[in-house]
């Protein structure tokens, strides 16, 4: 067999989200076999292996190398581990394909380049957006010379950033200012440099920073000018924006071409033989035709892909598959790798140079975070760094209560977590040893951990019900005085306007007919209350309603479905009062429950006294933000019809999916009225009742 037919046995290192994309792409390509996966989290590796038919599950990189069962490695670990893991693989002399960025510093990049050269190991970097279909068309037009020599490149990258809006500041990209460039700006920069060649000069101007944690600044905007070997370029980079816009335009001597990565369209401006007046008409019609034809083709490809009549063809997946395919094609043909280590290293160096020039050293003087250890706390909050958790910690420390906060990521925490009464415990609520260590000293445990999710009922049940059970088991083992489990009203049936909901209302008795999330929430509540009766578990269940306020997105799924922020598709006509609750009121109720013994064995629904309809809420939010937000009323039967159509398409394509639940759609409209007098009385709790104060704290906070 010649080198062109060599079949590479690939091992994935890392079982996170991106591993699924790599696995799907590899399984669709010839001459590549997906053979192994490495992750210290065995359960995560097993899930990926089961889904994609991977034979070998390995717990360490060393074990994978020593097994000699693989002849190529894909390094998919977090960026701060790229250099160390890739170095270990390169020493084998085998090909290594590394997720972007190549490394987190210029020095690390140079070390990897040297290792690859010394061990004759091919090293590629997954700068997949240079293979995006729209950009690939643009590059082809330029390379053909149809528009003449390249003269300049303009790019606008203005995109949302989910982790920023969710305040997940523990993510690697927020650890230091340059990381956002390595994580996000590297995408448009890779496209620019692939057109202009290496940047020989640059200048950059940053926007105003945001202090996301004491002394930690985040720069979400920069304007960068580059002098490339072939042409100059300019990049407007911004993240955390509401409207996604990503276009790159190449200006040539005899025309121009624009690639739109969001809509997957490419259109060009060219000269024709007509007089100027006629040219305005013909050029406009030509561009309109290009856009229309590509839009129709994209819609058709999507429909065929959803129906199973065509393989997956969304632009992101195509870019990933093309990037991986190009790497192995180059290997087998003995040709240079387009996105090789040198290309990746040049991008890392460029990002560092931009950060050094544009992101000044912060002048903010703050006391550095105090490293906390030990077990000096009365109350443990599991998942305490999240939206509700931050407010619970603030409410407890206001009363000088000693609090332990357990979370997976303790980076870039807010001021409140630096309080002298707070002990930070790094741990995962799915790991028994972490739970044991954190719960042992506590008198009271507040469980705010949602447990994660999954793609199937089994995965969602294991995450939501399994985590609740694991915490309850440790609370029994360590004889805690009280477990406050913070669940959700989603586990109740809320679709009957004639059936008032109280704290005594049990979870939906027909939960098996509901969607997986609601079904799991109901099962978790039933399990805990059964354990209270059978094992004397000292539990109190609090079920918050639609929680809004400072620290979360105002676009709550309880109001409707948001295909994008501007348009909310209602669960019904949007006229019924919704069970809104301010996050501060939820926190106060949790604190009150921690102080009262008579709440053990009871369940309470946390709903506020200001209950706006979906239409009212969207109207107020539009006025506050100055944005053209729209609420679209829908009938439940219409929603069911749409869901049934989706189900039918999936079934025809051979996918095993459950029937859509009409009961679940009705419940999501939340037409049942809430009576929270039991919570007010037993907890001595008074949620905000003044409409203007509610609007100020729930809506105007986002203005």
Q: Are 466 and 445 in contact (CB under 8 A)?
A: no
The token pair that represents 290 in the structure block: 């290009």
Most confident of 160-174, 236-250, 263-277, 635-649: 236-250
- For residues 76 and 86, what is the distance between their CA atoms, to the nearest angstrom? 10
Give the pLDDT score at 1.
Answer: 37
DSSP 483: E
Enumerate residues 6+ apart whose C-beta is below 8 A from 627: 242, 565, 566, 621
Give the pLDDT score at 660.
Answer: 86
Determine the average pLDDT of the residues in 670-688: 97
Give the pLDDT score at 367.
Answer: 46
pLDDT at 3 over 70: no
Give the pLDDT score at 366.
Answer: 47
Task: Dump pLDDT digits (tens) for 570-589.
Answer: 999 999 999 999 999 999 99
- For residues 374 and 381, what is the distance between their CA atoms, to the nearest angstrom? 15
Determine the average pLDDT of the residues in 98-103: 97
DSSP 557: T
Q: Which of 516, 528, 454, 517 is nearest to 486 (CA)?
A: 528
Give the pLDDT score at 4.
Answer: 47
Q: Between these two residues, 128 and 287, which has the higher pLDDT value?
A: 128
Q: How many CB atoms lie within 10 A of CB 278?
A: 11
Burial 625-664 (b: 16+ CB within 10 A, else e): beeebebebbebeebbeebeeeeebeeeeeeeeeebbbbb
Q: Are 589 and 606 in contact (CB under 8 A)?
A: yes
Q: How many CB atoms lie within 10 A of CB 576?
A: 17
- SS3 of 464, please? helix
Enumerate residues 6+ apart whose C-beta is below 8 A from 441: 375, 376, 377, 380, 404
Q: Angle at which helices 186-196 and 133-144 pack, to 10 degrees?
A: 10
Q: Are 120 and 96 in contact (CB under 8 A)?
A: no
- SS3 of 420, please? coil
Task: Dump pLDDT digits (tens) for 593-615.
Answer: 999 999 999 999 999 999 999 99
pLDDT at 2 over 60: no
Determine the average pLDDT of the residues in 30-39: 94
Give the pLDDT score at 616.
Answer: 97
DSSP 360: P
Confidence of residue 488 (pLDDT cuts 50, 70, 90): very high
Helical segments of 7-150, H only = 17-27, 42-52, 61-67, 82-90, 106-118, 133-144
Give the pLDDT score at 86.
Answer: 97
pLDDT at 477 over 90: yes
Give the pLDDT score at 286.
Answer: 87
Return the beta strands (E) in 293-421 as ranges: 379-382, 403-407
The token pair that represents 346 in the structure block: 């040049």
Alpha carbon separation from 152 to 132, 142, 232, 235, 675 (Å, rounded): 20, 12, 5, 11, 65
- Helix (H) or strand (E) run with residue 548 in it: strand 546-548
- Between strands 150-159 and 232-239, the pairing is parallel
Confidence of residue 629 (pLDDT cuts 50, 70, 90): very high
Give the pLDDT score at 373.
Answer: 57
Q: Can you name the residues that pair with 210 across neighbouring β-strands?
A: 218
Determine the average pLDDT of the residues in 545-554: 94
pLDDT at 87 over 80: yes
Percent of the chain at pLDDT exceeding 90: 77
Give the pLDDT score at 459.
Answer: 83
Task: Dump pLDDT digits (tens) for 359-417.
Answer: 976 554 444 444 455 678 999 999 999 999 999 999 999 999 999 999 888 888 888 99
**Cα torsion 493, 499, 502, 503: sign:** negative
Task: Dump pLDDT digits (tens) for 170-190.
Answer: 889 998 899 999 999 999 999
Domain spans, the chain: 3-125, 130-358
Give the pLDDT score at 666.
Answer: 95
Determine the average pLDDT of the residues in 69-73: 96
Determine the average pLDDT of the residues in 308-312: 77
Q: Between these two residues, 652 and 334, which has the higher pLDDT value?
A: 334
pLDDT at 639 over 50: yes
Alpha carbon separation from 582 to 230, 589, 694 (Å, rounded): 56, 11, 8
Give the pLDDT score at 122.
Answer: 97
CA atoms lying within 13 Å on the CB side of residue 269: 12
* Phi, psi for residue 629 in degrees, rounded to 5: -80, 140
- For residues 350 and 395, what is the distance between their CA atoms, to the nearest angstrom? 45
pLDDT at 688 over 70: yes
Determine the average pLDDT of the residues in 532-540: 98
Q: Give one DSSP letter per residue of 208-252, joined into a string.
A: --EEEETTEEE--EEEEEEEESS-EEEEEEEES-SS-EEEEEEEE
Give the pLDDT score at 313.
Answer: 86
pLDDT at 650 over 80: no
Q: How many CB atoms lie within 10 A of CB 336?
A: 9
Could you tell me which CATH number the domain at 3-125 has?
A: 3.40.50.720
Task: Dump pLDDT digits (tens) for 149-173.
Answer: 999 999 999 999 988 888 888 889 9
Q: Give one DSSP letter per residue of 634-680, joined into a string.
A: --HHHHHHHHHHHHHHHHHTT---PPP-HHHHHHHT--S-B--HHHH
Q: How many CB atoms lie within 10 A of CB 70?
A: 23
- SS3 of 501, please? strand
The token pair that represents 678 in the structure block: 């039991």
Give the pLDDT score at 284.
Answer: 85
Q: Between these two residues, 658 and 136, which has the higher pLDDT value?
A: 136
Q: Can you name the residues that pair with 444 across neighbouring β-strands?
A: 379, 482
| Same fold: 3-125 with 130-358 | no
Confidence of residue 439 (pLDDT cuts 50, 70, 90): very high
> Mean pLDDT for the chain?
92
pLDDT at 421 over 70: yes
Helix, strand, coil % (nearest 5) of the chain? 45, 20, 35
- SS3 of 365, please? coil
Which CATH topology does 130-358 take? Answer: Dihydrodipicolinate Reductase; domain 2 (3.30.360)
């Amino acid at each position: 067999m010649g080198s062109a037919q060599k079949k590479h046995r690939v091992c994935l290192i890392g079982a996170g989200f991106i591993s699924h994309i790599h696995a799907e792409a590899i399984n669709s390509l010839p001459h590549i076999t997906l053979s192994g996966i490495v992750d210290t989290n065995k359960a995560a590796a097993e899930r990926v292996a089961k889904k994609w038919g991977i034979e070998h599950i390995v717990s360490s990189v060393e074990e994978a190398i020593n097994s000699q069962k693989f002849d190529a490695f894909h390094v998919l670990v977090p960026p701060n581990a790229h250099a160390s893991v890739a170095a270990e693989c390169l020493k084998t002399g085998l090909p290594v394909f590394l997720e972007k960025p190549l490394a987190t510093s210029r020095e690390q990049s140079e070390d990897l380049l040297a290792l690859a050269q010394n061990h004759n190991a091919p090293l590629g970097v997954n700068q997949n957006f240079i293979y995006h279909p729209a950009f690939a068309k643009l590059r082809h037009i330029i390379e053909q010379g149809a528009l003449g020599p390249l003269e300049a490149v303009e790019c606008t990258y203005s995109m949302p950033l989910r982790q920023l809006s969710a305040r997940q500041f523990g993510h690697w990209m927020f650890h230091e200012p340059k990381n956002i460039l390595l994580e996000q700006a590297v995408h448009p920069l890779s496209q620019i440099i692939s057109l202009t060649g290496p940047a020989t000069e640059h200048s950059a101007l940053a926007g105003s920073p945001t202090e996301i944690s004491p002394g930690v600044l985040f720069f979400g905007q920069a304007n960068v000018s580059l002098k490339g070997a072939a042409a100059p370029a300019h990049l407007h980079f911004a993240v955390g924006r509401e409207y996604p816009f990503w276009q790159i335009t190449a200006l040539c001597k005899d025309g121009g071409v624009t690639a739109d990565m969001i809509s997957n369209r490419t259109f060009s401006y060219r000269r024709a033989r007509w007089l100027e007046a006629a040219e305005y008409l013909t050029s406009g019609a030509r561009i309109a035709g290009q856009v229309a034809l590509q839009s129709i083709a994209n819609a058709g490809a999507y429909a065929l892909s959803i129906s199973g009549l065509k393989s997956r063809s969304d632009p992101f997946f195509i870019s990933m598959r093309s990037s991986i395919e190009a790497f192995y094609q180059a290997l087998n043909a003995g040709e240079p790798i387009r996105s090789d280590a040198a290309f990746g290293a040049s991008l890392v160096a460029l990002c560092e140079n931009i950060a050094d020039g544009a992101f000044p050293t912060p002048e903010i003087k703050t006391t550095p975070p105090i490293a906390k250890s030990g077990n000096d706390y009365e109350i443990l909050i599991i998942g305490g760094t999240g939206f509700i958790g931050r407010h619970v910690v603030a409410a407890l420390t206001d009363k000088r209560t000693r609090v332990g906060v357990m979370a997976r990521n303790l980076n870039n925490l807010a001021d409140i977590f630096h309080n002298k009464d707070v002990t930070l415990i790094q741990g995962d609520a799915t790991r028994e040893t972490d739970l044991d260590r954190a719960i042992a000293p506590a008198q009271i445990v507040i469980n705010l951990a949602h447990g994660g999710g999954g793609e199937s009922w089994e995965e969602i049940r294991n995450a939501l019900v399994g985590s609740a059970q694991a915490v309850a088991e440790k609370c029994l083992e360590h004889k805690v005085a009280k477990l406050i489990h913070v669940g959700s009203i989603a586990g109740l049936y809320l679709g009957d306007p004639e059936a008032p909901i109280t704290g005594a209302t049990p979870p939906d008795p027909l939960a098996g007919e509901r969607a997986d999330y609601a079904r799991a929430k109901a099962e978790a509540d039933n399990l805990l209350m059964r354990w209270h009766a059978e094992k004397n578990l000292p539990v109190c269940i609090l079920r918050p309603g639609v929680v809004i306020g400072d620290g979360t997105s105002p676009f709550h799924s309880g109001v409707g479905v948001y295909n994008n922020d501007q348009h909310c598709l209602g669960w019904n006509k949007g006229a019924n009062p919704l069970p809104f609750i301010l996050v501060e009121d939820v926190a106060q109720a949790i604190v009150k429950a921690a102080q009262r013994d008579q709440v053990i064995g009871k369940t309470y629904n946390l709903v506020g006294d200001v209950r706006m309809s979906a239409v009212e809420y969207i109207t107020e939010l539009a006025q506050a933000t100055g944005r053209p937000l729209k609420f679209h009323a829908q009938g439940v039967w219409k929603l069911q019809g749409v869901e049934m159509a989706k189900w039918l398409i999936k079934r025809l394509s051979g996918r095993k999916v459950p029937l859509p639940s009409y009961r679940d759609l009705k419940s999501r409209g939340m037409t049942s009225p809430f009576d929270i007098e039991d919570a007010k009385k037993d907890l001595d709790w008074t949620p905000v009742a003044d409409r203007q104060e509610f609007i100020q704290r729930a809506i105007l906070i986002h203005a």
